[in-house]
Structures are given as C-alpha cells and as structure tokens.
Amino acid sequence: MKLLVAVDLSDSTQIIVEKAEEIAKAFSAKVWILHNAEPEPDVLEFRADPQAARESLAEKFHREHRQIQEIAKRLRKEGLETTALLVHGPTIETILKEASDLDVDMIVVGTHGRSAMYQLLVGSVSEGILHKSQCPILVVPTHQRT
C-alpha cells in the first residue's frame, strides 16, 4: 500500500501524521509526507524590498523542508519507508497530481472544522480533494468538537 499524507505544518499536522502512521503500520505502507509550500500570491514585500522578500521566502521554504524531513525521519525510525516532499503549486491540484504521479492507494488529509461561512467564502482543501480525487481519501478531523 502507498499513502500520500498532505500536511500544512499547522498544529493539526501531528494528528494527521499519527493517524497515517497507524494505517501505514497496519498495512506495511510506503508513506509520502507532502507539504505544499505555495507562497501567498500577493506578497507585499516584493514591491517594497524584493531582495528581503526573496530571502524571507527562501528561509520559509528551508524551515518547512526541515519540518517535513523531521516528520519523515521519525516515521523511518518507526520502521516505515517514508519520503518527504516539498512541492509548489495550487494546493488541491498539486496534491492530486502528486497522488497520481506516485500512484498512491490513499490520500490522507486533515480538516480544521471551520464554519460554513468560511467554507463558502474560502473553500476547503480536504473538500476539494474529496470531489476531485480518483483514489480513496481519509479525512482526519483535527479540531476539537464542542
């Protein structure tokens, strides 16, 4: 079995990774930890100080790369074949393309449980993947239920 685990490196990442680890161990699955490091489209610093903006963005990407490498390293210590992927592009389309290219059996994503208004205005990565994916999706709730 092959799992693609999409993480946003928020506080919910640990919950998503733990659930993916549980599945991977049960099925001896190969795991890809994927983070989309897409920069914000309207970075104001590029207009004010382009060099500082590039350096700040490069540091952000290096930090995110280290974070996903640490996740992959921890899973490898648990005996799981794991690869970290830092990608760039429109989030939903990029996750689905990587899932297709890697021929994964399942995509694991989290949901933050945001309000209906937020979903209407902004949308949801997990919802977009659910509607467009050609393979099974595990959506891990990461929010506190009240």
Domain edges within the chain: 2-141
Q: Which helix (H) or strand (E) holds 21?
A: helix 13-27
Predicted confidence at residue 144, as pLDDT, reads: 63
pLDDT, one tens digit per residue, over 37-66 is 875 554 444 556 677 777 888 888 899 999
21: tokens are: 């680890």
Question: Distance of CA 46 to CAs 38, 40, 58, Å?
Answer: 15, 11, 13
Q: Whole-model pTM?
A: 0.83
Arch. (CATH architecture) of 2-141: 3-Layer(aba) Sandwich (3.40)
